[in-house]
């Protein structure tokens, strides 16, 4: 069937374009010029690139730690795979602990300057410790819908303000 064959050729051409685009070798424009007569045989064969959505995109959340706060690039993210990019912009070592809880960020139970996790039924779903001043580390986590509190749990740091809330939708 001529139509089917044309579709197959179109797909091959699309693949070639995609491959060329990914390799970074030749630009899509250059490829298009090499085959000026190319037109998709059918709209259904056209590869539609995924549209990047803006707000709430699963992906990177930048968390900047310093004395004495944690600032987030966004306070709401979509559920699923997310990566915290933790930047210690302070002058002291810090930690980054992710807790899923409905308790307000600054109302977690504290003992000896530290948030009591297991004893209070709170569990850290992920953490990074020993983040040196100036260091940036990534913490990939799968987040389910809910409210989270992110803290630094080095004694005294939480109470001095190193806590922030994150909503996962
Ligand atoms: Cu700290």
What is the whole-number distance in angstroms between the Cα of residue 95 and the centre of ligand 1?
A: 6
What digits encode the pLDDT tens for the residues 82-102? 999 999 999 999 999 999 999
Q: Would you place residue 23 in the very low, low, confident or very high pLDDT band (cuts 50, 70, 90)?
A: very low
What is the whole-number distance in angstroms between the Cα of residue 132 and the centre of ligand 1?
A: 10
Residues 96 and 19 in one domain: no
Residues 30 and 90 in one domain: no
What digits encode the pLDDT tens for the residues 131-164? 999 999 999 999 999 999 999 999 999 999 999 9
This prediction's pTM: 0.66
Residues 103 and 73 in one domain: yes
Residues 41 and 77 in one domain: no
Q: Specify if 139 maps to a domain.
A: yes
In which region does residue 125 sit, left (phi positive, over 0), alpha (psi from -120 to 50) or beta (all else)? alpha
Residues 72 and 7 in one domain: no
Closest CA to 135 of 82, 96, 164, 81: 96
What is the whole-number distance in angstroms between the Cα of residue 105 and the centre of ligand 1?
A: 15
Residues 43 and 10 sit within 8 Å (Cβ to Cβ) = no
CATH number, position 68: 2.60.40.420
* Most confidently modeled range among 3-7, 33-37, 58-62, 138-142: 138-142
Q: Specify if 54 maps to a domain.
A: no
What is the whole-number distance in angstroms between the Cα of residue 35 and the centre of ligand 1?
A: 58
Q: Does the structure show a pLDDT above 60 at 19?
A: no
- Look at residue 126 in the predicted model and tell me its pLDDT: 97
What is the whole-number distance in angstroms between the Cα of residue 6 and the centre of ligand 1?
A: 62
- Look at residue 22 in the predicted model and tell me its pLDDT: 43
Q: What is the span of the domain harbouring residue 105?
A: 60-168
Q: Would you place residue 24 in the very low, low, confident or very high pLDDT band (cuts 50, 70, 90)?
A: very low
Q: Specify if 74 maps to a domain.
A: yes
- Look at residue 149 in the predicted model and tell me its pLDDT: 98
Residues 11 and 85 in one domain: no
What is the whole-number distance in angstroms between the Cα of residue 92 and the centre of ligand 1?
A: 7
Residues 33 and 71 in one domain: no
What is the whole-number distance in angstroms between the Cα of residue 124 and the centre of ligand 1?
A: 16
* Most confidently modeled range among 9-18, 22-31, 38-47, 159-168: 159-168
What digits encode the pLDDT tens for the residues 40-81? 455 444 454 444 444 444 578 999 999 999 999 999 999 999
- Look at residue 60 in the predicted model and tell me its pLDDT: 84
Residues 28 and 64 in one domain: no
What is the whole-number distance in angstroms between the Cα of residue 111 and the centre of ligand 1?
A: 16
In which region does residue 8 sit, left (phi positive, over 0), alpha (psi from -120 to 50) or beta (all else)? alpha
What is the whole-number distance in angstroms between the Cα of residue 24 and the centre of ligand 1?
A: 42
Residues 76 and 166 sit within 8 Å (Cβ to Cβ) = yes
What is the whole-number distance in angstroms between the Cα of residue 64 and the centre of ligand 1?
A: 11
Residues 109 and 30 in one domain: no
Residues 146 and 87 in one domain: yes
Count structural domains, the chain.
2
CA–CA gap between residue 116 and residue 124 (Å, rounded): 11
Residues 107 and 31 in one domain: no
What is the whole-number distance in angstroms between the Cα of residue 72 and the centre of ligand 1?
A: 15
């Amino acid at each position: 069937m001529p139509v089917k064959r044309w579709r197959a050729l179109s797909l091959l051409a699309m693949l070639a374009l995609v491959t060329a685009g990914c390799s970074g070798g030749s630009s899509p424009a250059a490829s298009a010029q090499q085959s000026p007569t190319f037109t998709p045989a059918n709209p259904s064969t056209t590869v539609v690139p995924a549209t990047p959505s803006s707000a709430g995109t699963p992906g990177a959340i930048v968390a900047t730690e310093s004395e004495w706060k944690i600032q987030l690039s966004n306070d709401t993210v979509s559920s699923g795979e997310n990566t915290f990019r933790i930047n210690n912009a302070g002058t002291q070592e810090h930690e980054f602990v992710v807790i899923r809880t409905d308790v307000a960020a600054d109302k977690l139970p504290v003992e000896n300057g530290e948030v009591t996790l297991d004893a209070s039924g709170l569990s850290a779903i992920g953490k990074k410790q020993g983040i040196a001043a100036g260091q940036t580390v990534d913490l990939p986590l799968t987040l389910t819908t809910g409210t989270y509190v992110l803290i630094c749990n080095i004694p005294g740091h939480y109470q001095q303000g190193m806590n922030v809330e994150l909503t996962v939708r």
